[in-house]
Structure 1
């Protein structure tokens, strides 16, 4: 094998080009007088492509919240200490400890997993403390007013935490809490300003529509972070990961609400869902999986698995199949779907990306 052979093989091994592109390039250069050693066999090329796909699948979505067992060990200590303090002192001493640990482990040592756990600990602290403060008004305030006051307590602590420690999850939580606050504020405005009771069956679709708008806003912000870092080398990619993790189920179940509320609120669990609703749910889940492939985010695949299982359950229950049969068939179909998409993720993504215009794909995470 010549030096050029070795250089091209090395480029394929590092994922710069694929094994098939190596062969095409060798043919192109051979036609122009370059000489090569023996070309790789088709089997070897297929193995090289399979290895490349495996590496690409591992590298395509890696949020940086764990970097080794040291992070895990420290995180175990954080969880145990905070649980013990909460049991002994409640919220009084827990917040100072969270902030002290954040100064040491996040601001100074930049540990990834502890930063996630401390952010979640702060969210838990705000949730429990806020509930303790507003709990006395639960019976006197309107439910939407009570909810608005409660959710409005989250943005400021998360904003301050992100400003100080630059944890991606904190910024994602800030965006999500602002979106949720806006959704509740809009629902309250419908009632107070327009006199529309969102609990009235005549306006039953207002809730999922408002949630859908809020979820779309979170998704748009997530995509803004995604396209600003298509190589996924910075913390912007981590922020997008957390935002997509929240946006995907919010979008899915807002759409599911539109599907099911038109039928008087029938669900999978009460056995009243219709065949058309099940078919609509399958279409929605399929679209979500397609979106996940396009943007290379698996949250859009996993968020729809429960709904997919429920839809298959409903379709089969309309037949003469026994309970045992369609339960296991639904589980098997969902499992096969997950395995198929997981194993062939990169190949499926290449097929989808090839169908899109370059003006779109150029801004997305590259398909190997």
Structure 2
């Protein structure tokens, strides 16, 4: 009797355990859909906890470096002071690398990796740029007064093109190529970081640095033409990042690996660049005239253009901005990427606010209506993401290259 009762209790306990396991599995299955994107910047709360510690440590390192530099007894700016500063910065970069080896390389902490990659890249880039500056001033003996002489040579009543040419003619080559050197100083550390730890955020930064290197090369070759064609350059830069993101997406259509995370960040950085290029092209065209050089709206992005323009002009720009963001939303749905929409939320909110303000409402009402409209659209998209994707993707094949570019919608919910 006792044995039977024990067997009964054991069997019931096993059934309860299986039921609990099935319930937990059902809950887990109901909380994540196959077409949802991975979080490319956060694993769990432990990431946040560790990141807070890294930020506190970084504050201590920064204050410590300043205190050491102020207490060494060398005059600020002297050669000895600069060498010690470079060594301290290099030591800081090595500390960030060592922490990265543990947190990113072994434990795969994503959010701490974002902060550490920025800290390491910033420290290493500053070291490399500073070393180049010392090489220019100490080894090549370029006199800092050469800058004043160059800009004095360009100060005339001639056209802007002639003034720029006059300045360039006076500047030493080692100074002229500094934009390229500065970008390379950032590209090399972030590329090494990405190759070592395969952190998706570092991959996105590498893409940005490569695009910036191409732009800096053009800037060095012809600064005047660079400024004139800046709207077109911004468009090409954004397209390059977007296409690079698509390449990573097509290698991971299920959005489950680090490739997908790198694609996310490439799209995230591409979106504001493309948005600014499209709206600025509406305001200034695909090239700038000399009259545009002094116009803050010409170089201030869509926000600057809307803030600087007349009322009617601001409304037109706001309408164009919303149209572009709507296009981003359509592309985001097709390729199953929410990053394009997220990057344009602030600009979309400002655009809606500009349009709503034309109704003559008070400032508080404008803010409320703007937030309600913007938040409502985002919530609707979030709730109906997969159903809308299924409708949009109906004409596309579910297998083959197009299916890798436009992943089929799966799951019954949003």
Q: Tell me which interval the TM-score lies in, with the shorter structure as reference length.
A: 0.7 to 0.9
What SS does the corresponding residue of 2:376 show, helix, strand or coil? helix
Matched residues in 1 for 2:316 and 2:53: separation?
Answer: 51
Q: Counterpart of 1:38? A: none
Pick from 279, 284, 308 the counterpart of residue 256 of structure 1. Answer: 279
Give the secondary-structure state (helix, strand or coil) at the position aligned to 2:409: coil
Instruction: Flag structure 2 segments of 5+ consecutive residues without an equivalent.
Output: 1-23, 66-87, 138-143, 151-167, 169-174, 286-291, 298-303
Q: Which residue of structure 1 aligns with residue 118 of structure 2?
A: 120
Q: Deviations over 1:161-206 (max 9, x none)?
A: 2222222222221121011111222233344xxxx4444xxx3xx1
- Alpha-carbon RMSD across the aligned residues, in angstroms, is 3.2
Work out the CA distance in 2 between the residues paired with 1:182 and 1:291.
26
Cα distance in 2 for residues equivalent to 1:331 and 1:181: 38
Farther off after superposition, 343-352 or 218-227 = 343-352
159, 164, 168: which one aligns with 2:200:
168
- Mean CA deviation greater in 128-137 or 226-235: 128-137
Equivalence for 2:234: 211
Contact kept? 2:201, 2:262, Cα under 8 Å: yes
Against the structure 1 CA distance between its residues 76 and 311, is the aligned structure 2 distance closer, same or farther, given a 3 Å change threshold? Answer: closer
- Please name the residue that 2:38 is paired with: 62
The 1:319/1:352 distance shift into structure 2, 3 A limit, reads: same
Which residue of 2 is the match for residue 331 of structure 1? 371
Any idea what SS the aligned residue of 1:152 has?
helix
1:228 aligns with 2:251: yes
**Which residue, out of 172, 180, 184, partners 1:152?**
184
CA contact (8 A) 1:249 1:303 kept: yes
> In 2, Cα distance between the equivalents of 1:87 and 1:138?
33
Q: What residue number does 1:184 align with?
A: 216
What's the counterpart of residue 409 of structure 2?
367
SS at the partner of 1:74?
Answer: helix
Match of 2:306 among 265, 268, 278: 268
Q: TM-score if structure 1 supplies the norm length?
A: 0.73
Cα distance change of structure 1 residues 73 and 228 upon mapping to structure 2, 3 Å threshold: same
Larger Rg: 2
**Number of aligned residue pairs:** 311
Structure 1 residue 117: deviation in Å? 2.4
* Alignment partner of 1:84 is 2:126: no
Report the CA distance shift for 1:179/1:321 in structure 2 as closer, same or farther (over 3 A): same
Question: CA separation of 1:78/1:270 partners in 2, compared to 1, >3 Å: closer, same or farther?
Answer: same
Tell me the CA shift for residue 65 of structure 1. Answer: 4.1
Deviations 1:211-242 (A, max 9, x none): 11111111111100101111122211111111
**8 Å CA contact retained: 1:91, 1:125:** yes
Counterpart-to-counterpart distance in 1, 2:365 and 2:395? 38
Tell me by how many angstroms 1:286 deviates.
0.5
How far apart are residue 128 of structure 1 and its match?
4.3
The 3-state SS of whatever aligns with 1:55 is coil
Contact 2:242–2:270 (Cα < 8 Å) also in 1: yes
For 1:263-291, what per-residue CA distance to the aligned partner results, in whole angstroms no more than 9, with x for missing partners? 96372223523433222222111001111
Q: Distance in 2 between matches of 1:300 and 1:190?
A: 32
Shift of 1:88: 0.5
Per the normalisation by structure 2, the TM-score is 0.66
What does 1:289-308 correspond to in 2, within 5 Å?
289-308=329-348
Q: Kindly indicate whether the alpha-carbon contact (under 8 Å) linking 2:246 and 2:405 is maintained by their aligned counterparts in 1.
A: no
Note the residue ranges of structure 1 that are not aligned, 5 or more in a row: 1-12, 16-47
User: Distance in 1 between the 2:52 and 2:146 partners?
Assistant: 39
SS in 2 for 1:335: helix
